[in-house]
Structure 1
């Protein structure tokens, strides 16, 4: 009898302590912070905890294990108020790292992706996309189409296509709709992987209505005439390997707003456009980094850079 009474008293004491702790937690300083301060703290946490790829951090990640992870999920589980704050901020749900490798079957992944994308509302989207190696995967295509429907909100795209067949598949996905997608908000584009003549199609589709400010690519082994079809009038930063035709002056003359250039190429100096040998091209470049192999001096003679500062 005494032991039972003692046990009941201890249980009551523990329950009372939990109630006190819960009540005291309501007076914690973090609960008295204004919502805008919480948003700033959450932003820093998301930036620090997201997946870093190149110069960008992605807050939501679809891994090849078909798992979706995000620091937003962690924050939203703390309490109902934090969940309300996190769910009501579209910018927290606007960057996605999508690796669809081995994604073969329908699962909760599509439902979760759709819910997260809907929370981004009308915020500009930042995307890292790596298509999987599975041939004719309807699930991968559906996942891609989910974001392609929001093509007008794509602001940053980091596209990784490690194999030639993935480039063809990506193009077919882009062309599968009744109307060609319009990437009117695209400002930053990074292409990594194997590109040859197919890159012209990728460029034309992505740049049709966009105004790129930064461009980073691997090898652009495309004819000079095809390269000239792309509009680079708004480009401010360029990291590029290729093309091999044309002169440096001709290349940069098509980018009147360019300020920073990291150039790795083997310019032949043989222009695709017939131009007089005494034609000079002026550039707004302020910073230039070059690593050229087997480049003849004539390919540089047409370039004038009156604003250039550091040079190496």
Structure 2
């Protein structure tokens, strides 16, 4: 054992604990500062005891350090001793002796359950520069052993999010560091990427975006968000082909130009093997670009066409559909082919900008396997014009009709209501809302425990609503 290891204990035990003087404490604190430097280096290099003898010596040293801390009453010295004790005890921690594959599994679990599972290159609010964040960096700061394991496992570096803010200078130093992180992901590991680029018109994309686009052949999951639809041509300044997206299974493609009609999507033209797709808009005239038996999940903010029948026929294995608005368009005389869809999960309505669901959406469609239904009332009917006699002609009535026609066994139905109407009615539910809810659930084959209005069980909601109890009492 080195002299530095023995010094603080010999100082402490050379006098009784009742006669300690401040000069001695000063020497003791200095000695423990030296010990802290020594054990910090051991901790960073994972220099754990490699024999029973070395382990026994370390345990004895830990015992004496605890004794020193118990006899010490000077706060600054106690703090220094506590830091050393923490480092000494950490060298005996079981996690330091785990096999590499077990440690990697633990890292993977932490990353997957983190709110920052990947590397984020973004512009923090109220800060003038970009920065990198992500829990993977935490593993590289603990010790050299953890760092080596984290850096060598390519999958940890294959999930990247780039959020390029408006009119903010990109940091060259961070861009170089992000490029190093991308290089750590290797050359063949599938990547999950997210790019948000609110670019001014005709501005070239940042270098970090170009780095990721160059690896599009490795994309397994991609989220692309633009202000202008033409940004896709700026980011991909070359003709796309199927060779660019051979691994792409999950794509979210969003843009903010809601006034622009749906157009052909250049990425979808490449026919990637998608299983999950989210789009801002899709027109029936372009729907054939997603025709695939692979597609399982489809989410559309807006769909325009004669009905959904053609779309569902082209995606026969679709299990989940989210349709926030439907605009009737196309050839009204087009012949529709009856479709029996394999959908088991349907979400209809709810878009803040397109608050309409035109009639005709369910023409020629049956859903015999439907089990879960989530509908938003505000987008389906106008409360003020609701009349029980014409209920079947409303979009909500048509939805109920297709459900009954399909003879499906529903397990869960959730009907959202309009909070604004509740507020305009001075905290009481409009009478038309009660009528609509009663109409929709009447004769609907669904388990009693699976019927909800908002997040409230149907019967509880009816009890409160019929008594005109304000929403805050039960929400």
Give me the TM-score of the superposition, normalised by structure 2: 0.55
How do residues 190-229 of structure 1 correspond to structure 2 at under 5 angstroms?
A: 190-195=252-257, 200-201=263-264, 203-220=265-282, 222=283, 224-229=284-289
What's the counterpart of residue 55 of structure 2? Answer: none
How do 1:228-247 residues align onto structure 2 when only pairs under 5 Å count?
A: 228-247=288-307
Query: Relative to structure 2, which stretch is displaced further, 32-41 or 151-160?
Result: 32-41
Cα 1:184–1:24 shift into 2, 3 Å: same
Larger Rg: 2
Tell me the secondary structure at the aligned position of residue 263 of structure 2: helix
Given the alignment, which residue of 23, 27, 34 partners 1:15?
34
Select the residue among 301, 308, 317 that pairs with 1:257: 317
Partner of 1:61: 120
Query: Do the aligned partners of 2:316 and 2:342 also contact (CA within 8 Å) in 1?
Result: yes
**Which has the larger share of helix?**
2
Mark the runs of 5 or more structure 2 residues left unpaired by the alignment.
1-20, 40-60, 62-83, 124-128, 350-354, 374-412, 414-475
- The 3 A distance-change label for structure 1 pair 104 and 300 is same
1:144 counterpart residue number: 209
Contact 1:168 1:198 in 2 (8 A): no
* Cα separation, 2, equivalents of 1:143 and 1:111: 9
- 5+ residue gaps, structure 1, are 52-57
RMSD of aligned residue pairs (Cα, Å): 3.0
Matched, 1:96 2:156: no
The answer to whether the 8 Å contact 1:184/1:211 transfers is: yes
Shift of 1:197: 5.5
Q: TM-score, normalised by structure 1?
A: 0.81
Higher relative contact order (CA closer than 8 Å, sequence separation 6+): 1
Question: What CA distance in whole angstroms lies between the structure 2 residues aligned with 1:9 and 1:269?
Answer: 84
Residues 11 and 209 of structure 1, relative CA distance in 2, 3 Å threshold = same
Using the TM superposition, give the Cα deviation of residue 10 of structure 1 relative to its aligned residue in structure 2, in angstroms.
5.6
CA gap of 1:4–1:106, structure 2 versus 1, over 3 A, is closer
Q: How big is each residue's C-alpha offset from its partner over 1:174-219, in whole Å with a ceiling of 9 and x where there is no partner?
A: 1x24765711111111233325668634x23245141111112234
**Any idea what the Cα deviations from partners look like across 1:109-155, whole Å, max 9, x if unmatched?**
221111111111122111111114355555x3422110111111111
Q: Runs ≥4 in structure 1, deviation > 6 angstroms?
A: 2-6
Residues 1:43 and 1:152: Cα distance change in structure 2 (over 3 Å): same
Deviation at 1:249, TM superposition (A): 1.1
Name the CA distance, whole Å, in 1 between partners of 2:249 and 2:358.
31
Number of positions where the alignment pairs a residue of Structure 1 with one of Structure 2: 294
- Separation in 2 of the partners of 1:81 and 1:283? 53
CA contact (8 A) 1:155 1:188 kept: yes
Counterparts of 1:264-303 in structure 2 under 5 Å? 264-268=324-328, 270-271=330-331, 274-275=334-335, 279-291=337-349, 293-296=356-359, 298-303=360-365
